[in-house]
Structure 1
Amino acid sequence: MRISFCQGLLTGAIALNLLILYYVSRAQQQMMEKRRDSGKPPPKKTPLPVSGLGAAGGLAGPVGGGAGGAGNGRNPRVTVLVREFEDFENYVGDVARSFLQRRPEVPFLAVADLVPYPPLALPESARLLVLSPSPDQPPQAHRPEFHVQTEYVLLVPDGVELEQGRQLERLIRELEGEGGGPVRLVATPVLARSAVQCLHLRVSLREWTVTYTPAASGSSGSVCTALRGDAVILMRSEDLFNLSSPLARPLLASLFIQTSLRGWKVKLLEGPCFAASHRPLFSSAHNQWKADSRQREATGRLMRDFGIKRLVQPDGKEQWFGCGKETARCFGTVKDDTPEYLYLERWTPPCCLRALRETTKYVINILETAGVRYWLEGGSLLGAARHQDVIPWDYDVDLGIYLEDVPNCEYLKNLDAGSLVDANGYVWERAVEGDFYRVQYSESNHLHVDLWPFYARNGIMTKDTWTEHRQDVEFPEHFLQPLVPMQFAGITAYGPNNHRAFLELKFGEGVVENPQYPNPTKKRLDRSRL
């Protein structure tokens, strides 16, 4: 009987596996014989590696068991985890005792970035996990997913007490009752603490923006995408540790940014509520100030790590985490007309758009006051036609000006060399690339408006410096006679009198209706996502 190629290949693979199995078995047998000869006991089998420092300064191993009842003494279903606390003053030890007195079978885990000082006074059965790596331990020792063996995790704020053990079962039943739908978390308020607010959260990574809006409450509990305030939260361990940063601080902000991006929702129950310690969380104004300062620092780090530059609060107030007048802009030198953020599938950071709008408004006001005729040029005119604003992925603003009007402006007429910083911190300079002008947002932040001087020759507008940009071409002067007002970046600016024809002359037919990135050969716009 002839053996086919596939049969021969399969036979060879089986033989190779048997050979490998033989040598592995032989190596294990030799190792056991050596251990027996040396008098050492065989190693214990453990499902997980060790973790950080425990209550008494030892090593904390994995916590939890299989999936039994919410707490039957053998197979607890939930691990209590405390993440939000300050090392200089906390009640984590009291929280642990409260839970372990009523539910001693339930694992308790406190998680810190660094070893707390002073040390936590934890009960013997409670454990501390330190997230910062240590050179003498394996990487698993500092990864929280290796230290939780239960089906659920209960995220508990500092200073919370368990009054009734049945509270845990109620939360589990509520979560199980959702049947794997969009509700992947359930929460309950903490009594005597700030009221918990149910919010809707929109996260746009492309726009670097997080927006909170109030959510209406329902009769049997509110379902929303974020919470604000002190709440106890239950979720499946698998869900928690499938997040990219499961325990980043501030915990609620981090948690809900990640869950909302996945389409998950949280259900805020009216009860059972958990009790708070009768003592204030911080005993002095100084410690409260330290806690608030650390919260602000943690929020800033989180937003930088997640690439969030703008946060809109439920009341409409804004927080900015991107560049400002005293810092460098959020992106480096632009290569091939394609800023680096486009490769990250993002658009211009909102702080940069804000700076461009401020600079444009400032420059246009000076030009108009000085009697310098100007018009929106290139991509900026395209933005005005499409959005009445800067194009969402643009990185500068272009204005055309009449060369003969330059002597009318004090900031421009003496810029043959060097630069000047005006009283408001804007930098006016002659561009090193050629005969045009640039106004930068500040000495530190080089977001800018370019001013291109044109002059008429036989009815055609031309200039002395040209770039390789497709739209940088001569055009008839009749487009500027007269100039017409256009809405742009929150102000009324001036543009060519037939902006569509002007743009199609420069960019091609249909350019207004068919947006595209500046250099499609490097990066193309996915119009299906607009």
Structure 2
Amino acid sequence: MRVTPCQAALAGAIGLNLLLLYCAWRGPGGSPPSCRPPRGVPGITVLLRDFEDFENDLAGTARSFASLPVPVLVVAETAPYPPVPLPAEVGLLPLRPAADRPPPLAHPELHIRTRHVALVPDGTRAVPGLLERMRDALEGGGAASNVRLVAAPVGSAPLQCLELRLEPREWTARYGDGAPGVCRAVEGTAVLLLRTRDLFALPFPLARPVPTALFIQAAFRGWGLRVMPAAFPAARRPPVSPHGRWKAENLAETRRRRLMRDLGIKLEVLADGQERWYGCGKETVRCFGTVHARTPEYILAGRWTPPCCLRALRETARHVTGVLEAAGVRYWLEGGSLLGAARLGDIIPWDYDVDLGIYQEDVGKCRWLAAAAAGEPVEDAEGFLWEKAAEGDFYRVHYSRSNRLHVDLWPFYPRGGVMTKDTWLGHPQDVEFPESFLRPRVPMLFAGFTAMAPNNARAFLELKFGPGAIENPEYPNPAIKRLEQD
């Protein structure tokens, strides 16, 4: 095909415009790179991410590391306020778009051209050559090494090496004392160095708090961590004001909760045995939505019941059984709850409610049940909500008015020596049974307390679930997903 002079001129103009647009793009330092160096050039870029706007040493930290010299970027949602007098050579990488301004790049990694990055906490002072020694320690293990992070302490206190074990199915992160050479996390203020490509291969590369975010994401991938003995000095800073400390603590808690939500962690068990809980409480909604076909969404995602929900279910079950016993209402563990008691002495790890049977004639003995039977939801003195279920003739006791984790109370009545009820939801295990199983009822360990149960749990469960029900665990609806698929 013949190209006319006009077409050639038009193509040249388009190419020139594209080149001008490319070269006019300004990096975070403000200088227009006429030809950007290829990504991954040797060197280390310092990222200043963990700092507070209201009280910080950002200018001093930036000035110290810029003097090495290495590229330094302040990474924040928006420019710090009050404004910080940053050195001219220090760039600002804003992460939050503004409606009236051109957006920041969708990929922050395009601002970083070096092969390595160091995440430096606020108040750190540079040591000539130490970043390079950290880089050499990272690269010295060879291609077979799984070390992807190097940590160096800030200040005089050494870092404590920690083991970090993730249990995604249980939404749990467990820390423990690490053996020499087996670090997955560290306790203490640290500079963290890793390859740029590794940092931005993470789904949350710049989440805060930075150390926790990196350690958990690295542990998911089986990355190792090496600790350097040499330390960076900490700046001498005036004491933080009480108001500043209060603000910092509240912000830290908010960030940590947001991070754990994003990473799918509902419980952290610390090295000293303390627990940090995330997820639902009495004032919040529950951690999962409506359950369809007896299969919660978390089961389809390869997870089990969030630990905060199991804790709330245990608390609700203990409360309800205590109220029923005090009122003289005869009850017993039913369905999957009895199955969990027989198998584990606890709620089944993927169950989403607790089931109790009660004698229908005893409903009037309990003031809360009687109120619910009259059609009025009622909140008891401890904040549990009792109501009649919309689906039929049974009752629910919710963890709270907001959090609808619940215990179901199924009213049975004897007819010709067989226990039956008026509402059947079509579950395979929802069947009649001889009243002899309840004469007498017997105590059974369940969810940290003693509940009443049928006198022959095995026979009762095999009547409802089939032979081998105790020894052969299965998800509530195997037609949707089977346990062996996990």
**TM-score (norm. length: structure 2):** 0.91
| Structure 1 residues 129 and 477: alpha-carbon distance in aligned structure 2, compared to 1, 3 A threshold | same
How far residue 59 of structure 1 moved from its aligned partner, in angstroms, is: 7.0
Deviations 1:63-84 (A, max 9, x none): 996699xxxxxx6421111111
415-424 vs 242-251, which moves further: 415-424
1:190 paired to 2:154: yes
| Structure 1 residues 378 and 62: alpha-carbon distance in aligned structure 2, compared to 1, 3 A threshold | farther
How far residue 41 of structure 1 moved from its aligned partner, in angstroms, is: 11
SS of the residue corresponding to residue 274 of structure 1 reads: coil
Q: 2:350 maps to what in 1?
A: 393
Q: 1:337 maps to what in 2?
A: 294
Q: 2:445 maps to what in 1?
A: 487
User: Structure 1 residue aligned with 2:129, among 159, 166, 176?
Assistant: 166
| Structure 1 residues 45 and 399: alpha-carbon distance in aligned structure 2, compared to 1, 3 A threshold | closer
Q: 1:80 maps to what in 2?
A: 46
Deviations 1:200-247 (A, max 9, x none): 12222322222222224x3xxx53111222111111111111000101
SS of the residue corresponding to residue 469 of structure 1 reads: coil
Q: 1:243 maps to what in 2?
A: 202
User: Structure 1 residue aligned with 2:224, among 254, 265, 268?
Assistant: 265
Q: 2:422 maps to what in 1?
A: 464
| Structure 1 residues 427 and 514: alpha-carbon distance in aligned structure 2, compared to 1, 3 A threshold | same
Q: 1:417 maps to what in 2?
A: 375
Tell me the amino acid that sits aligned with residue 77 of structure 1.
Answer: G
Q: Which runs of 5+ in 2 are unaligned?
A: none
Rg larger in structure? 1
User: Structure 1 residue aligned with 2:56, among 74, 81, 90?
Assistant: 90
Tell me the amino acid that sits aligned with residue 243 of structure 2.
Answer: H
Tell me the amino acid that sits aligned with residue 287 of structure 2.
Answer: C
| Structure 1 residues 430 and 35: alpha-carbon distance in aligned structure 2, compared to 1, 3 A threshold | closer
452-461 vs 468-477, which moves further: 452-461
How far residue 118 of structure 1 moved from its aligned partner, in angstroms, is: 2.3
User: Structure 2 residue aligned with 1:318, among 262, 265, 275?
Assistant: 275
Equivalence map 1:150-299=2 (5 Å): 150-163=114-127, 165-180=128-143, 181-192=145-156, 195-216=158-179, 218=180, 222-271=181-230, 273-280=231-238, 283-299=240-256
User: For the residues of structure 2 that align with 1:226 and 1:85, how far apart are their CA atoms?
Assistant: 20
SS of the residue corresponding to residue 158 of structure 1 reads: coil
User: Structure 2 residue aligned with 1:121, among 85, 101, 126?
Assistant: 85
User: Structure 2 residue aligned with 1:368, among 304, 325, 340?
Assistant: 325
User: Structure 2 residue aligned with 1:32, among 12, 21, 26?
Assistant: 12
Contact 2:169 2:303 survives alignment (8 Å): yes
**TM-score (norm. length: structure 1):** 0.84
How far residue 139 of structure 1 moved from its aligned partner, in angstroms, is: 6.2
SS of the residue corresponding to residue 482 of structure 2 reads: coil
User: For the residues of structure 2 that align with 1:452 and 1:359, how far apart are their CA atoms?
Assistant: 16
Tell me the amino acid that sits aligned with residue 343 of structure 1.
Answer: L
Contact 1:199 1:227 survives alignment (8 Å): yes
Deviations 1:62-120 (A, max 9, x none): 9996699xxxxxx642111111111223222222222232x22x211111111221233
User: For the residues of structure 2 that align with 1:33 and 1:437, how far apart are their CA atoms?
Assistant: 76
User: For the residues of structure 2 that align with 1:60 and 1:352, how far apart are their CA atoms?
Assistant: 53
Equivalence map 1:50-61=2 (5 Å): 50-51=26-27, 54=29, 58=30
Contact 2:95 2:104 survives alignment (8 Å): no
How far residue 385 of structure 1 moved from its aligned partner, in angstroms, is: 1.8
Q: 1:10 maps to what in 2?
A: none
| Structure 1 residues 29 and 498: alpha-carbon distance in aligned structure 2, compared to 1, 3 A threshold | farther
SS of the residue corresponding to residue 519 of structure 1 reads: coil
Tell me the amino acid that sits aligned with residue 166 of structure 2.
Answer: V
Q: Which runs of 5+ in 1 are unaligned?
A: 1-18, 69-74
SS of the residue corresponding to residue 141 of structure 1 reads: coil
| Structure 1 residues 177 and 486: alpha-carbon distance in aligned structure 2, compared to 1, 3 A threshold | same
| Structure 1 residues 156 and 350: alpha-carbon distance in aligned structure 2, compared to 1, 3 A threshold | same
User: For the residues of structure 1 that align with 2:174 and 2:45, how far apart are their CA atoms?
Assistant: 32
SS of the residue corresponding to residue 182 of structure 2 reads: strand
| Structure 1 residues 307 and 26: alpha-carbon distance in aligned structure 2, compared to 1, 3 A threshold | farther
Q: 1:12 maps to what in 2?
A: none
User: Structure 2 residue aligned with 1:478, among 436, 439, 449?
Assistant: 436
User: For the residues of structure 2 that align with 1:76 and 1:62, how far apart are their CA atoms?
Assistant: 20
SS of the residue corresponding to residue 133 of structure 1 reads: coil
How far residue 259 of structure 1 moved from its aligned partner, in angstroms, is: 0.4
How many residue pairs are counted as aligned between the two chains?
483
1:43 paired to 2:2: no
Contact 2:39 2:113 survives alignment (8 Å): no
Tell me the amino acid that sits aligned with residue 469 of structure 1.
Answer: H
Tell me the amino acid that sits aligned with residue 422 of structure 1.
Answer: D
User: For the residues of structure 1 that align with 2:449 and 2:121, how far apart are their CA atoms?
Assistant: 47
User: For the residues of structure 2 that align with 1:369 and 1:112, how far apart are their CA atoms?
Assistant: 57
Contact 1:205 1:307 survives alignment (8 Å): yes
User: For the residues of structure 1 that align with 2:306 and 2:194, how far apart are their CA atoms?
Assistant: 33
Contact 1:49 1:146 survives alignment (8 Å): no
| Structure 1 residues 87 and 143: alpha-carbon distance in aligned structure 2, compared to 1, 3 A threshold | farther
User: For the residues of structure 2 that align with 1:167 and 1:89, how far apart are their CA atoms?
Assistant: 27
Contact 1:61 1:147 survives alignment (8 Å): no
User: Structure 2 residue aligned with 1:112, among 44, 53, 76?
Assistant: 76
Q: 1:496 maps to what in 2?
A: 454
Contact 1:86 1:291 survives alignment (8 Å): yes
Contact 1:483 1:495 survives alignment (8 Å): yes
How far residue 127 of structure 1 moved from its aligned partner, in angstroms, is: 1.0
1:132 paired to 2:132: no
Contact 1:223 1:268 survives alignment (8 Å): no
Q: % of aligned pairs identical?
A: 54
Deviations 1:468-493 (A, max 9, x none): 11111011122222222221101111
| Structure 1 residues 458 and 126: alpha-carbon distance in aligned structure 2, compared to 1, 3 A threshold | same
CA RMSD of aligned residues (A): 2.8
